[in-house]
Amino acid sequence: MITWNNLDTIPAYQELLKTASVNLAEAMAGEKGAERVRKYSVPMAAGLTYNYAAKQVDDQVLKALEKLAEETQLAGKFEALYNGEVINTGEKRRVLHHMTRGQLGGAVEADGVDKRSFYVEQQEKIAELANKVHNGEITNAAGEKFTTVVQIGIGGSDLGPRAMYLALENWAKVNHTFKMEAKFISNVDPDDAAAVLNSIDVEHSLFVLVSKSGTTLETLTNESFVKDALKNAGLEASRHMIAVTSETSPLAKSDDYLAAFFMDDYIGGRFSSTSGVGGAVLSLAFGPEVFARFLNGAAEEDRLAKNKDMFANPAMLDALIGVYERNVLGYQNTAVLPYSQALSRFPAHLQQLDMESNGKSVNRFGQPVSYSTGPVIFGEPGTNGQHSFYQLLHQGTDIIPLQFVGFRNGQMGQDVVIQNSTSQQKLCANVAAQIVAFACGKEDEDRNKNFQGGRPSSIIIGDQLTPEALGALLSHFENKVMYQGFVWNINSFDQEGVQLGKVLAKKVLAHDTDGALKAYSDLLNI
């Protein structure tokens, strides 16, 4: 039987608090460090590996974390989730994003519909439309092919799909699967929409409007912006727009769109990259086959996340180490550092995924918790980050855990040898050097040049950023966030914190304000 209890009531957590602190600089020095790198490593899907040698853990800490996983019933709670139990207590909903890429357990029926069949059906419809666009069966009014796809959405309808597109754009070009350039309009700032529209040929552009409710203010505002641009160009908007929405939304059966593809309330925005939200734009950009490979990578990693053995479940292990860092060691932040320019927007996606999911101060039952929950997430691709904020990471007063991501090979197959090494080798050398520098530090009589070390990190390593590897990477972090929410006994699948600002914004626009809200409205000339 599944039970839901606060972290500070769990006996294993009390034991974890008593574990001795690990001297990371000492543990990672010399041959001991080499042995840790070999030992503290877990295979992931799609040829990836999760290595946690440079984390502040030892066998004693890991044993306590293993016990914590058992007492908090992590494997059982995941099983309950993918078998369709109502895990999202705030909104009284199932949580089914895993089912967009595979069925991990039994069939799940909701609203009289088999959900796996429903998601597959939507993917097949998207694939059919994408193929018709690519082969010229669906064209503009002049009978010419569309060359650009533009996604209109905000939050999870933008951050995830945009990050995934950028991650695979160059790979697709090199592997001859690049079909259409993708652009994204998300910000209600008119300069965002104007800049995108000024950069494309609207006559040959297909727009994907993403709104589950069909009432999202920012998205509908940008839709109107786009429709005006189409009208001014003498084009019929309905021949240039498709919708990704719910079946009950006002967009679902509108004549304003070429087609509508459906999602449901069981997939949150930040978990929607493998649904139609990401499926439409990625299938149009790269072809349905590439999107299917992306889904396969995510599905393979999901299957690993089912494993009850923490040491064979990289997402669970990563999650528990993160809990240890947050609640025992007291680290408040985590930096995500991908050494791949293709992952330039991946940290931004993880910001939403983690902070919107686990930025909660009440438990699943609405009761305040007395311990810390989700960390602040930030990041930037290396090596740019090294010349930006790594100074604070190395020598600042706060210790910030680091999550590196690196690949042995680039995507483009183009490189140059300078001073006996390639650019890719230099990139990988920087990853290795940073991990050891953070962990071990360097003593110097000049205190300004002294590096204390003891700065923990992990790394996910792969051969190349392929669609499968990207899917596995996405799944890993989605499941990590889920497991941490389980440990903290919070609901990772609602986001009430984003609603208040929206409500007040509507009051401002209606001029229904007083006090400070009116004063700020006046300052902004609203």
**Which residues does the annotation mark as catalytic?**
356, 387, 502
Helices assigned H by DSSP within 175-287 = 190-198, 217-232, 276-286
Which residue type does 189 have?
Answer: D
Distance CA 487, CA 74 (A): 7
Residues 6 or more apart whose Cβ sits within 8 Å of residue 98: 81, 82, 104, 302
With beta carbons less than 8 A apart as the criterion, state whether 151 and 281 touch: yes
Q: Are 366 and 489 in contact (CB under 8 A)?
A: no
Q: Can you spell out the DSSP letters for 33-99?
A: HHHHHHHSEEE-GGG-EEE-TTSS--HHHHHHHHHHHHHTTHHHHHHHHHTT---BTTTTB---GGG
Which structure tokens are listed for 431? 């990853």
**Given the structure tokens 């699967």, which residue do they identify?**
177
Rounded CA separation 349/300 (Å): 21
Q: Which residue in this structure is represented by tokens 């839709």?
A: 223
Q: Coil, strand or helix: which one is 54? A: coil
234 φψ region: left (φ > 0), alpha (ψ -120 to 50), beta (else): left
SS3 at position 459: strand
Amino acid at 461: I
By the 10 Å C-beta count (0-12 exposed, 13-18 middle, 19+ buried), 436 is classed as: middle
Q: Specify the residue for token string 């695979």.
A: 168
Q: Is 407 in a helix, a strand, or coil?
A: strand
What single letter denotes the amino acid at residue 73? Q
Q: How far is it, in rounded angstroms, from Cα 384 to Cα 373?
A: 29
Under DSSP, is residue 461 helix (H, G, I), strand (E, B) or coil?
A: strand
Distance CA 49, CA 119 (A): 29
Q: Would the CA dihedral through 365, 367, 368, 369 be positive or negative?
A: negative
- Phi, psi (5° rounding) for residue 85? -70, 155
* Residue type present at position 151: Q
What single-letter DSSP state applies at residue 235? -
